[in-house]
Structures are given as C-alpha cells and as structure tokens.
Structure 1
C-alpha cells in the first residue's frame, strides 16, 4: 500500500474587525462598486492592534487539531506559510509550537507569499512519505494589513488578514495527497514585491504590485500547474470534484476554471468575504467548505496558487 498524507482536520481564524469596501472610499479614489466589479471582494478582516500572525495561527491550529481529534503530544511537525511574520526571527512556527505546547514537534516557516500554503503542503507531504513525520500541522497565516500602502488603491483594497490550518496524518490507501507541482521564476520579482527588508532598507516596507501584468501571468500559470499536477496524479480534469484556488481575485478564479473546463459550481469561493489573505487563503477556503459539508470522502480536490517570486504551484488531494 502507498503511504499518503491524509487531511484529518481543518481550522480557521478571522479577526473580529470586518472592513467593508465603503471604508476605503474616504481614503483613496475608489468605491464599493469599483472594488466588487474588478475583484469580487466585498469585505475583509483586519487584525486588531497587537494581534499577531502567530496568535491567529494558533487559533486556527487549535480548531484543526480539535476537528482531527488529536492531542498536542501527537503532532510531529509544524509548518507555517507566511510572508508577514511577527519578527524577522524566530519563525512563526516555533511560536505556534510553543503556544500550543507541542513539545514533540519541530517547526519551521515557508515563505512563498500567496503560494506559501501550497509549498508548505508539498513539503509536509514529502516528509510524511519519507517517514520523517506521521502527523504534521500545516498553517497559512498573514497580517497583510501591516504592509499595505493606504494611498495605493490598486493594492490596499485587495488584502485581508487571517489564518487557516490543516492536520495531515500518514495513512495507507487511496486517500490523501496524490501529487504536487511547484514552480518559481525570479525574473518576475518586480511584478509583486515589498519594497523593504532586513538587508536593504532595514524596515518592513510596503507591498507593490503590477496588477494587470500579474493577472495575465496568474491565469496562464495557474491553469498550467493545475493540469500538470492532475496528470502527475494519473487523472484528468473530468475526475476533479472541487477546485479550491488561492482567493486573490474572482476574475482570475473564473478565468482559471474556464481554462480547466470546470463549472463554477465546482469552485470554492471565499474571496468576497475574506479578500486576498495570501498564504492563508487556501486553508481558509478549505475550512469553510469542510465545515459546510461540501466535501465527500473520495472527492478529488485541486488547490492552486501564485504569489510573489513569482512562485506558483498546485496540489491534488483525494479527500
């Protein structure tokens, strides 16, 4: 039998503060209609003052572990995907490990911006397949509101804060992660980046993005990586039950689904309520759909994302 990484539980946390599109109208030249029509976003959540990425990650992880029916002494590893850590170091994952009391678990962060959760999931799968861990907590958590330029309407209206988590467990059989496909091309780094850093400005910096250029790359690359991962799994798009994409923009999601010949009824959409939560968006969407009972055992789910780097990839899971 094949040893696979099976999703045993999902969890999420969203800050209490909900920010509707109208909030931006007295800050930049925009409107609720403009934001909705171009992005599909209606609202997003912003972290409270003093609320950190690690604090949100812990809340999401607690829910995922509870739903998986696992205790703290059963987790072997913690991987956190984030581009907005509490501190330059140590990693958010070590703060989560300590905060949850996971005394047996090793912990580290993955930084691939919006594609971070896909990269983290692929790494966790590889460790489980190799026998290095039996149960891995994989989290995507972001406080992007801390790196937004409130005078740039092309970016500040897009992003939100939050955290999502899944618990992976080793099992033998047909269920679990079937394949992954990871890609990067640093020559496109100026399309989406933050203009600060430890070895350059010594400050966190602000997010910068060439939206129209990124849109074209996203639609093309997301469809390509999804097709490759599906082929690696020995499947076709006709076998796909659900697409759970990175929730960046409703138009990107729709265009990608069309290229994959998937009806929108098979796509999980949360962008209207969450905005773009970067590495947190896929685990947030998984948790929302899981809690609603949309997934059935044996369903084939494709996740895909693209982020700064550029980095992009996809993972195919049998639920």
Structure 2
C-alpha cells in the first residue's frame, strides 16, 4: 500500500470590490479592449482598506474546512503560499492557525510568487507521504494590489486579490495511477532570470517597492517551461497528456494558458479558465480555479488534473493529482 495526499475539501474567497477594466480608463492610457486582447482579463477583485492577506486566507480556509467537514483543530499543519504576507514576521500561516482555532501542529509560509501554491502542494505531499502529518491545509492567498505601480499600465491592470485553499488527508492507495490524491510533483527554479519579474523593494532595502515585469520575456519563458514541467510530472508516473481530464493552470494570461495547452496537445475545452474574472492572483490563482472548477461542475471525483505555474525567481513547477 502507498500513502497518498488526497484532496478532501476545497474553498475560496474573493474580496467584495470588483474592478472592471473600464475603471482603469479614468487614470491610464488603456481600454477594456486593450486589456482583454492582451490578457483575457475582464475584471478582478481588490481587497478593502485594512483587509489583509491573512484575512482572505482565513475566509478561504473556513470554506475548505466546511467542505471537508472538519474544524481547525483537526489539522496537523498549515502551509500558506504568499508573496504579500501581512507582516515581515510572524508568518501569515500562524495568523490563520490562530483564527481557525488550531492549537496544535505547525504552520508556515512558502514564497515562490506565482508558483507558490505548487511549491506548497509539493511540501504538503512530502509531509503526508513521510508520515509527519495526516491532514494539511494548503492555502494560496495574495493582496497584490498593495504592490502595484498604478502608473504602469503594463502591470497594474493584470493583477487581483483573492485566496483559495485545499485540505489534504493521508489515505492509503494501491500505488498506481488509479489512486486518488497527488500522483507526481515537479519543481524548478533559476535565479539567473530574477530581473524579468520582481519587486524593486523589500525588508533589507527598507523599501516596500512595486512589481516590475518584462512581459515579453516572461511570456517566452512561461509557455515553454510550463509545458515542459507538466510533461515531466506526467512522465514520472508514465501518463500521457491525453489521459488528463483537466489542466488547471496558473491564471496569468489567456495567451499563456492557450499556448501551454497547445504544446501539451490538449483543447481549451479541457482547461479550467478563471482569469477573465479574477486577473492574476499569483499564488491564489490555482486553488481559486480548483474551487471554482468544482463549483461549476467541471472537476469531478476521479478526474486527473495537471496544475502548473511559473512566477518570479524564476520559479516554476507542476502537480499531477487525481481528484
């Protein structure tokens, strides 16, 4: 028998404020048509004043726990993927832990920008497979609106705020691809490309900074690397792309999503797409898409999913799981 990390609950939360593309026309040389054509984004959500990343994470976590029929103290660990934590320390994960009433176990943050949720899933899987945890709450939560340069039309129109969460539980499987749960993971990073996507500030520079991106370079790396990591993860378990029911990609840009699907040889009808409604929510985008995909009736028990993401670092990776 083989221990698998199986998804038993999923949930998400989006801030109340919805920002349509047209709102940017008031302050920038841009238009709804320009934004849609280049990104596929139509609207996004922004956190309210005083609303923090941990606030969003708690809302999504409660939804995921309710879906799993569990309480906070039923968890052994919390892993929160974010690049926009409330404070330098303590971790946003420990803030979520307290709010959920979880008085045992441990909680920590993972920072791999848009690839953060993939990294968090891989870490959660390792904890469960090694026997260090039985139930792990994995969260992606961001308030990227806090690090936008509102004069830069090439970046500020792309991002939004939100949170998504999964509850993973150790279950016994036969050790085959027919098992439910995480079947394979694949992680990469290459720090030589840090200058194409970064924030020009941080704690040691004593400057919060703003997001900076070379869009064409990011696009060039994204399609190639995302298709390669998804293929590598499938190769590890001897599966073909055609056996995948749903690709659930990082929701950054519809052209990247479509380009990656094409390289994998899969039609867009088998891709969960939410970018039009949420924009790029960084580490939150995949769990958001998983939760919305389940709500829509797209993702069903037994479906094989491939999730993949790339973000600043560069950091990228993928996970293959059976829902």
Normalising to structure 2: TM-score of the pair? 0.98
Which of 264, 270, 278 in structure 2 is aligned with 1:266? 270
Cα contact 1:183–1:311 (8 A) shared by 2: yes
Unaligned runs of 5+ in 1: none
Write the distance in 2 (CA, Å) between the matches of 1:29 and 1:39: 16
After TM superposition, the structure 1 = structure 2 runs for residues 119-268 of structure 1, keeping only pairs within 5 Å, are 119-173=119-173, 174-200=179-205, 202-268=206-272
Cα contact 1:54–1:95 (8 A) shared by 2: yes
Q: CA RMSD in A?
A: 0.6
Partner in structure 1 of residue 176 of structure 2: none
Give every structure 1 segment of 4 or more consecutive aligned residues whose post-TM-superposition deviation is greater than 4 Å.
Answer: none
Deviations 1:294-319 (A, max 9, x none): 22222110000000000000000011
Write the distance in 2 (CA, Å) between the matches of 1:289 and 1:224: 24
Deviation at 1:114, TM superposition (A): 0.2
Normalising to structure 1: TM-score of the pair? 0.99
Deviations 1:113-164 (A, max 9, x none): 0000000000000000000000000000000000000000000000000000
Cα contact 1:75–1:135 (8 A) shared by 2: yes
Deviation at 1:60, TM superposition (A): 0.1
Deviation at 1:292, TM superposition (A): 2.0
Partner in structure 2 of residue 310 of structure 1: 314
Partner in structure 2 of residue 52 of structure 1: 52
Unaligned runs of 5+ in 2: 174-178
Q: Is 1:103 equivalent to 2:103 in the alignment?
A: yes
Tell me the SS of whatever aligns to 1:155.
Answer: coil
Deviation at 1:104, TM superposition (A): 1.6
Cα contact 2:72–2:97 (8 A) shared by 1: no
Partner in structure 1 of residue 19 of structure 2: 19
Write the distance in 2 (CA, Å) between the matches of 1:58 and 1:263: 35
After TM superposition, the structure 1 = structure 2 runs for residues 64-83 of structure 1, keeping only pairs within 5 Å, are 64-83=64-83
Cα contact 1:233–1:316 (8 A) shared by 2: no
Partner in structure 2 of residue 301 of structure 1: 305
Write the distance in 1 (CA, Å) between the matches of 2:304 and 2:288: 18
Cα contact 1:5–1:168 (8 A) shared by 2: yes
Which of 281, 293, 302 in structure 2 is aligned with 1:289? 293
Stretch deviating more after TM superposition (210-219 or 232-241):
232-241
Q: Is 1:118 equivalent to 2:123 in the alignment?
A: no
Cα contact 1:82–1:109 (8 A) shared by 2: yes
Write the distance in 1 (CA, Å) between the matches of 2:224 and 2:211: 23
